């Protein structure tokens, strides 16, 4: 497997390409489509349909998520929400619809092209309480205890240092605040032929943790009342498996690998934690 910096470069390049393609062809991406503007389909195999949600903006939907975290995030009017890996702003704009003009939404993404596209989308929508900041999740450009709620959609599995990402999530949440994140996990060790492919890291596959390890990492970061809000087993298409495995290993994958799933996980920061005021 590549180094952390190489993995970040791969992700940044892949998602930067998608941002550029969608900027050039804003009408070719349709909700639920398996392909968008000629971009890499491997990055879209877990995408969900957002089109029925209030605040949905098709220009911001690049089909890169694996859940609908805003549906489970218990957002309230006036909340400050931080979206980790905000892309073109899809989840941010839906969150803004819920928190209203009294609230605030901050999107963070490490890909400059995505930040540019998200800011352009926010400008078109004339939203003055949604902002997008360039930065990495392992070192968030967000103040201590600035957020009431943190959301994320199929992004933590893209972060090489997941421990630091969760610690940063804990830091920026207010005491008593919570997160709801959608992500990809596995039920057993992923086959080596898939695990070693750096290209699949950008597709949310090879960076996925075993479900129990993922939950344990969240617990170790200090979160409480952790719950799986939604879980859906996913099937990797043969066309993807055949790119990285030979025929024999494809059959072994289907017969022996326990599977991969999209999960949405909820967790709370304790009221009296670190410098937090007791709530």
**pLDDT at residue 27 in the model:** 32
pTM higher than the cut 0.75: yes
CA–CA distance, 138 with 189 (Å, rounded to integer): 25
The answer to the question of residue 24 being in a domain is yes
Residue 275 within a domain = no
* Residues whose CB falls within 8 Å of the CB of residue 134, separated by 6 or more in sequence, listed in order: 108, 109, 110, 112, 115, 141
Q: Is residue 273 in a domain?
A: no
pLDDT at 116: 95
3-state secondary structure the chain: CCCHHHHHHHHHHHHHHHHHHHHHCCCCCCCCCCCCCCCCHHHHCCCCCCCCCCCCCHHHCCCCCCCCHHHCCCCCCCCEEEEECCCCCHHHHHHHHHHCCCCEEEEEECCHHHHHHHHHHHHHHCCCCEEEEECECCECCCCCCCEEEEEEECCHHHCCCHHHHHHHHHHHEEEEEEEEEEEEEECCCCCHHHHCCHHHHCCCCCCCEEHHHHHHHHHHCCCEEEEEEEEEEECCCHHHHHHHCCHHHHHHHHHHCCCEEEEEEEEECCCCCCCCCCC
Look at residue 258 and tell me if it is in a domain.
Answer: yes
Q: Which residues contact 75 (CB under 8 A, 6 or more apart)?
A: 81, 95, 98, 99, 149
Count how many domains the chain has. Answer: 1
Q: Does residue 109 sit within a domain?
A: yes
CATH number of the domain within which 80 lies: 3.40.50.150
- 162-172 and 211-220 helices cross at what angle (nearest 10)? 40
* pLDDT, averaged in runs of 10, over the chain (279 residues): 71 76 43 36 58 69 77 97 95 96 97 94 94 96 98 89 96 98 87 59 65 96 97 80 75 73 95 68
* Domain extent for 36: 4-268
Distance CA 152, CA 154 (A): 7
**In-domain check, residue 274:** no
Tell whether 278 is covered by a domain. Answer: no
Of 201, 231, 227, 229, whose CA–CA distance to 215 is shortest? 227
Q: Does a structural domain hold residue 220? A: yes
Rounded Cα gap, residues 113 and 134, in angstroms: 10
* Whole-number pLDDT of residue 265: 97
pLDDT of residue 20: 80
Task: Determine the pLDDT at residue 38.
Answer: 35
């Amino acid at each position: 497997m590549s180094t952390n910096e190489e993995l970040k470069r791969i992700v940044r390049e892949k998602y930067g390409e998608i941002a550029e393609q969608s900027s050039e062809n804003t009408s070719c991406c349709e909700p639920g489509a398996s392909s968008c503007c000629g971009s890499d389909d491997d990055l879209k195999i877990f995408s969900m349909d957002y089109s029925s949600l209030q605040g949905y903006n098709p220009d911001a939907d690049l089909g890169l998520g694996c859940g609908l975290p805003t549906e489970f995030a218990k957002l309230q009017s006036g909340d400050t929400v931080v979206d980790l890996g905000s892309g073109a702003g899809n989840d941010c704009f839906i969150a803004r619809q819920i928190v209203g003009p009294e609230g605030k939404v901050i999107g963070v993404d490490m890909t400059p092209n995505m930040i540019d596209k998200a800011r352009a989308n926010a400008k078109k929508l004339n939203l003055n309480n949604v902002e997008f900041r360039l930065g990495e999740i392992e070192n968030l450009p967000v103040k201590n205890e600035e957020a009431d709620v943190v959301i994320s959609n199929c992004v933590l599995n893209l972060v090489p240092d997941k421990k630091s990402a969760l610690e940063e999530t804990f830091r920026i949440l207010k005491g008593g605040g919570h997160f709801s994140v959608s992500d990809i996990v596995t039920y057993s060790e992923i086959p080596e032929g898939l695990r070693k492919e750096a290209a699949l890291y950008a597709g949310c596959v090879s960076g996925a943790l075993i479900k129990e390890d993922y939950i344990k990492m969240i617990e170790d970061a200090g979160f409480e009342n952790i719950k799986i809000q939604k879980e859906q087993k996913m099937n990797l298409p043969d066309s993807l498996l055949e790119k990285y495995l030979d025929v024999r290993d494809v059959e072994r994958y289907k017969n022996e690998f326990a599977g991969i799933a999209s999960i949405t996980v909820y967790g709370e920061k304790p009221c009296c934690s670190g410098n937090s005021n007791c709530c």
